[in-house]
Copies of this chain bind each other. A is one copy, B any other.
Amino acid sequence: MENFRFQARTGFVFGKDAELEVADMLNKYSAKKVFIHYGGGSVVKSGLLGRVEDKLKAANIAYVMLGGAQPNPIDTLVYEGIEICKKENVDFILAVGGGSAIDSAKAIAVGALYDGDFWDFFDGKPIERALPVATILTIPAAGSEASDSMVITKTGDIPLKRGSGNHHIVPMFSLLNPELNYTLPAFQTACGVADMMAHVMERYFSRTKGADVSDRLCEAILLTAIDAAPIAIKNPNDYNARANLTWAGTIAHNGTCGVGRASDWATHGLEHELSALYDVAHGAGLATMFPAWMKFVYETDLDLFVQFATRVWGVENTGDKKAVALKGIQALEDFWSSIGLPVNFEQLGAKKEDIDTLVKMLHINKGDSFGNFVKLTMDDARKIYELAV
């Protein structure tokens, strides 16, 4: 096991009506002027945003608002948010929505305290401060409600989708009401499941040996998601299924599953180019790329893939490591298919003839190689994209 540091500072209020504590929590963190950032119409139509506004008004907490955060959130809205925050002397950022609204809010929180271009922090500059961020989560998926990371797409001829982050952007508190997920369409629920499972698997498939407690914690979250996802998709109003997915999504990405080990994140890298190019859902892209990545790398550590197959998917350990490992990968692919996710280019809506462009985009973002579990060259990346066709 490797040395590590861990602190999970986010305070959670979890359960029915959790969002109604928003004013109490903002007061606890001494928020004076709040910037509320949200996405499309669903938080408006559902009445959630209205409930939040009512609570802030009743508590005399001043606020300004900016909606419009889209899946694969873009730089232009971030610039707009930063300008508002600076002009209005905002001292606290509240994201209401899913991972896109939260990531956009985090970028605004960083940019609001910076004189230069916020994209500098996606170009390698370390974040030194940020306005405090809190969230009201409507989609269990990205884990951004408790993570130290954010992903923003810089628009342009060749869109750049990049991640950044450190402890300064970990939310101060997050209000998680699983009932807010009842209206999520089945496909969006499934994409969220793929995203949280991917966050776990990017940590699980590690070169670090001996971090058994992390292995077990990873498997716990995967097993939870595998059990709960079909229930939530079949019965969208099943509270416990929604609640288990919500907390699994949070724990998947708040650091709990990654202690004592190197993570990989190669598959996230491969996927980001897909969602940047086609604007597909990140979770759908991950469902397409993860099995392909696995098929490319599994022989590097057959024992770990056997462990994954037997512990997570209940594959019988026949002793034929290669066959058992491949059955585990197939089980993942079958599971994702069963909940309606794409697992290849055609199903995703990606094109074989774009692979050159995807590799070109990847090269701009990653340089000549990327990944930890297996260091991948651009040639390797091409082969993995081809495996996903």
A213 and B3 in contact (CB under 8 A), knowing A8-B8, A219-B220?
A: no
| Chain A 1-52 residues near chain B, CB threshold 8 A | 1-16, 18
Contact across chains for B213 and A1 when beta carbons are under 8 A apart: no
Contact across chains for A16 and B3 when beta carbons are under 8 A apart: yes
Q: Which residue of B lies closest to A227 (CB)?
A: B212
Question: How far apart are the CA atoms of A146 and B15 in the complex, in Å?
Answer: 24
CB of A249, distance to nearest CB on chain B (Å): 10
Query: Which residues of chain B are near A2, meaning CB under 8 Å?
Result: 15
Contact across chains for B12 and A247 when beta carbons are under 8 A apart: no
Among B6, B210, B221, the residue within 8 A (CB) of A12 is B6
A5 and B1 in contact (CB under 8 A), knowing A210-B240, A212-B228, A227-B212?
A: no
Query: Which residues of chain B are near A259, meaning CB under 8 Å?
Result: 14, 247
Query: Which residues of chain B are near A217, meaning CB under 8 Å?
Result: 217, 220, 251
CB of A22, distance to nearest CB on chain B (Å): 14
A244 and B11 in contact (CB under 8 A), knowing A217-B220, A219-B220, A256-B256?
A: no
| Among A1, A209, A211, A227, residue most surrounded by chain B Cβ atoms (within 10 Å) | A1
Contact across chains for A213 and B11 when beta carbons are under 8 A apart: no
Q: How many copies does the complex hold?
A: 2
A127 sits at the interface (CB 8 A) = no
Among B12, B16, B244, B260, the residue within 8 A (CB) of A7 is B12
A361 sits at the interface (CB 8 A) = no
Query: Which residues of chain B are near A240, meaning CB under 8 Å?
Result: 1, 209-212
Q: Which residue of B lies closest to A225 (CB)?
A: B213
A384 sits at the interface (CB 8 A) = no
CB of A177, distance to nearest CB on chain B (Å): 9
A216 sits at the interface (CB 8 A) = yes
CB of A245, distance to nearest CB on chain B (Å): 9
Question: How far apart are the CA atoms of A356 and B224 in the complex, in Å?
Answer: 45
A131 sits at the interface (CB 8 A) = no
Contact across chains for B1 and A7 when beta carbons are under 8 A apart: no
Contact across chains for B11 and A5 when beta carbons are under 8 A apart: yes
Contact across chains for A213 and B247 when beta carbons are under 8 A apart: yes
Provide 15 A-B residue pairs closer than 8 Å at the C-beta atoms, listed in order of the A residue: A1-B15, A1-B239, A1-B240, A1-B243, A3-B16, A3-B18, A4-B15, A5-B12, A6-B14, A209-B240, A210-B240, A213-B224, A216-B221, A216-B224, A217-B251
Chain A interfacial positions (CB closer than 8 Å to B): 1-16, 18, 209-213, 216-217, 219-221, 223-224, 227-228, 239-240, 243-244, 247-248, 251, 256, 259-260
Sample of 11 more A-B contacts, CB < 8 Å, known A6-B11, A213-B221: A1-B247, A3-B14, A3-B18, A4-B12, A4-B14, A7-B10, A14-B260, A212-B240, A213-B228, A213-B247, A247-B260
